[in-house]
Amino acid sequence: MKVLALALLALFVAHPARAIDAAEREAILLHGPWPPEATPDPSNRASGDPAAIALGQRLFFDVRLSRDLDRACASCHLPAQAYADGRPRGEGLRPLDRNTIALANLGGRRWYGWDGRSDSLWAQSLHPIVDERELAASGTLLRDRLEREHDAVFGPADDDEIFLVDIAKALAAWQETLVTPRSAFDDYRDALEAGDAAGMAAYPVAARRGLSLFVGRGQCATCHFGPSFSNGEFDSVGINYFLGPDGVDRGRHGGIAALLASPFNLLGRHNDDSARTTAAPTTHVALLHRNWGEFRVPSLRGVKATAPYMHDGSLATLAEVARHYSEIDLDRLHQDGQLTLQPLHLTEAEIADLVAFLETL
């Protein structure tokens, strides 16, 4: 009893304005621990293999992956910018439709890309290589240029498509190693779990208030759930998804269509796992009316470094993102099926708190 009273007192001392109730404590603890344990991708025989990881890292910066030998993965995924590019939308050989996704914490996801068109990191890594707007290369071209390096890691490939997939698998093996470091939030979260009042007190007060909003009234954690701050699914949050004067970005609806039509999905011949242990989401994914114009719920780890935001980079700062949700236009959402999002009408001070919290991730 005495111990409990002391612990409660310690909490009040650390943050005199408020105590932490059990529900909030549980909600906060769900966002850790960090980093997660690395588990190899069973669909990729190169996953976790040091030689493949080293090859993938070299190839990520290698212009031989582009048809015209003028660009590499790293031309858009810039290491100095959290492997994003700082632009609203990507610029390949031609302008792209969506924001360049930062590359971190990619292992073990169900879906990749803003529309989840890939069910593995290697399948997603293959798209930019062959997309005419990006690197515009092909398996045949890569085989001509990279056979020696490839064969040293994978052995000879039976055909050009397998060769292309192997290259993508090496790229994936390296990208899996990109993990955001522990953050100020992680230190706070672990101090909370351990009952370490001094550790908790080190967390900025504004961020702590923002965290309360995030897991509480804001209900942000409903979708930005768990240690990676994403439930790995897709949603419509009222962002315009027109594309040019005469079309739209179909988002998740197009993503599911592309996934199921792809020879590179986990149900196909390139999955190295004969038991298909990670293929169940692909088997069961449902194509729904509401998928039209839905986009990935992005992870918020390291989000401070990945501006601008949203699938089309239309919001320049985290404060703009917070304001968007705070004053969300319910007319943009269907009356049924989307009761999660409600206008919060946050004050500017609350928006600043929310941003202060997000910047600690």
Partner 1 sequence: MRHATLAIILFAAGLSGGQALADQPRFIDAHVHYSHDAWDRLPPEAAIRILRDAGLAQVFVSSSSDEGTQRLYQAAPDLIVPVLRPYRNRGELSTWFRDPTAAEHVEARLKQYRYAGIGEFHIYGADADGPVMRRLVQLAKEYKLFLHAHGDAEAVRRLFAQDPEARILWAHAGFVPPAEVRAMLAAYPTLWADLAFRNDHAADGRVDPAWRALFEAYPDRFMAGTDTFTPERWYYIGEHARWTRAWLADLPGPLAENIAWRNAATLARWQATP
Partner 2 sequence: MKLALALAAGLAATPALACGPGIPVSADGLQLAYRIEPAAAVGRMVAVEVATCDGLALEGFDARMPIHGHGLNYRPRIAATGPGAYRIEGVLFHMPGPWQFVFDVRAGETTRRLTADLTIRR
Interface residues with partner 1 (CB under 8 A) are 240-242, 246-248, 250, 253, 257, 260-261, 267, 282-283, 286-290, 292-293, 330-332, 334-337
Sign, Cα dihedral of 63, 64, 66, 72: negative
Angle CA(173)–CA(258)–CA(333) in degrees, nearest 5? Answer: 105
Both tokens assigned to 69 = 């030998």
Both tokens assigned to 270 = 């390139």
Q: Residue 222 CB, nearest distance to partner 2 (Å)?
A: 5
Contacts to partner 2 from residues 270-289, by CB under 8 A: 280-281, 283-286, 288
Q: How far apart are CA 334 and CA 6, in angstroms?
A: 49
Of the pair 150, 250, the CB lying nearest partner 1 is at 250
- The contact pattern for partner 2, residues 24-63, with x = CB under 8 A and - = no contact, is --x---x---------------------------------
Q: Residue 53 CB, nearest distance to partner 1 (Å)?
A: 32
Out of partner 1, partner 2, none, what residue 289 binds, judged by CB under 5 to 8 A for its kind, is partner 1
Q: Render the burial of 79-105: b for 16+ CB within 10 Å, e for the rest.
A: eebbbbbeebbbbbbeebebbbbbbbb
Q: Which helix (H) or strand (E) holds 295?
A: strand 295-296
Out of partner 2, partner 1, none, what residue 260 binds, judged by CB under 5 to 8 A for its kind, is partner 1
User: Considering the rule CB under 8 A, would residue 343 count as an interface residue with partner 2?
Assistant: no
For the CA atoms of 140, 144, 145, 148, the dihedral, rounded to the nearest 10 degrees, stands at: 120
Distances in Å between the Cα of 189 and the Cα atoms of 37, 207, 219, 226, 284 are: 17, 12, 18, 12, 35
Q: Residue 29 CB, nearest distance to partner 1 (Å)?
A: 35
Count of chain residues binding partner 2 (CB under 8 A): 25
Cβ atoms of 270 and 263 closer than 8 Å: yes
Out of partner 1, partner 2, none, what residue 136 binds, judged by CB under 5 to 8 A for its kind, is none
Q: Residue 175 CB, nearest distance to partner 2 (Å)?
A: 20
Cβ atoms of 222 and 291 closer than 8 Å: no
Of the pair 225, 292, the CB lying nearest partner 2 is at 225
Q: Residue 258 CB, nearest distance to partner 2 (Å)?
A: 16
Of the pair 207, 279, the CB lying nearest partner 1 is at 279
Which residues lie near partner 2 (CB under 8 A)? 26, 30, 110, 221-223, 225-226, 231-234, 280-281, 283-286, 288, 290, 336-340
